[in-house]
Amino acid sequence: MAETTSHQDPVAGPHKGLSPVARALRPWLTFKALLGGLILFSFIMSALLAPYLAPFDPNKQDLMRAMIAPQWLAGPHVFGTDHVGRDLLSRLIYGARISLSIAASVVVISGAVGIFLGIVSGYFGGRIDFLIQKVVEMVWAFPPLLIAIAILAFLGQGLGNLILALTLQRWIPYSRVVRAEAMTLKEREFVMAARSIGASHLRILARHLLPNLIQSALVIGTFAMAAAIIAEAALSFLGLGVPPQIPTWGSMLADGRAYVSTSWWMSLFPGLAIFATVLAINLLGDALRDNLDPKLKRKL
Decide if 277 contacts 40 (C-beta within 8 A): yes
Dihedral of the CA atoms 6, 8, 12, 13 (nearest 10)? 40
Per DSSP, 3 falls in state: P
What's the predicted TM-score (pTM) here? 0.83
**Domains of the chain and CATH, by start:** 30-299 (1.10.3720.10)
Which pLDDT score, from 0 to 100, does residue 15 have? 52
Query: In angstroms, rounded to a whole number, what is the distance separating the alpha carbons of residues 208 and 107?
Result: 23
pLDDT, residue 10, reads 44
Report CA dihedral (216, 219, 220, 225) to the nearest 10 degrees. Answer: 150
Residue 15: CA count within 13 A, CB half-sphere = 12
**Nearest CA among 211, 142, 145, 140 for reference residue 178:** 211
pLDDT tens-digit readout, 131-155: 999 999 888 888 888 888 888 888 8
Q: What pLDDT does 279 receive?
A: 93
Residue 111 confidence class, pLDDT cut points 50, 70, 90 = very high
| % of the chain at pLDDT higher than 90 | 40
pLDDT, residue 287, reads 85
For the cut 80, the answer to whether the pLDDT of residue 226 exceeds it is yes
Judge contact between 143 and 186, C-beta under 8 A: no
Q: Are 278 and 36 in contact (CB under 8 A)?
A: no
User: 169-179 pLDDT, tens per residue?
Assistant: 889 999 999 99
Alpha-carbon torsion 267, 268, 270, 276, what sign? positive
What mean pLDDT is predicted for residues 81-100? 92
Residue 201: enclosing H or E segment and its boundaries? Answer: helix 201-203
The Cα–Cα gap between 114 and 219 comes to: 14
The pLDDT-based confidence of 201 (bands split at 50, 70, 90) is confident
Contacts of 126 (CB under 8 A, 6+ apart): none
Statement: residue 6 has pLDDT above 50: no
- d(CA 176, CA 117) in angstroms, rounded, equals 9
AA identity, residue 215: Q
Q: What is the mean pLDDT of residues 78-103?
A: 92
Using CA atoms of 33, 34, 35, 36 in order, give the dihedral in degrees to the nearest 10.
Answer: 40
**238 vs 300: CA distance, rounded Å:** 44
Bigger pLDDT: 120 or 298?
Answer: 120
Say what the pLDDT of residue 19 is: 67
Average pLDDT value over all residues in the chain: 85
Task: Flag whether pLDDT at 299 surpasses 60.
Answer: no
* pLDDT value of residue 143: 84
Helix (H, G, I), strand (E, B) or coil at 87: strand
* pLDDT band, very low/low/confident/very high, at 300 (cuts 50, 70, 90): very low
Q: What is the dihedral of CA 278, 213, 114, 191, to 10 degrees?
A: 180
The predicted pLDDT at position 179 comes to: 93
Region 264-290: mean pLDDT is 91
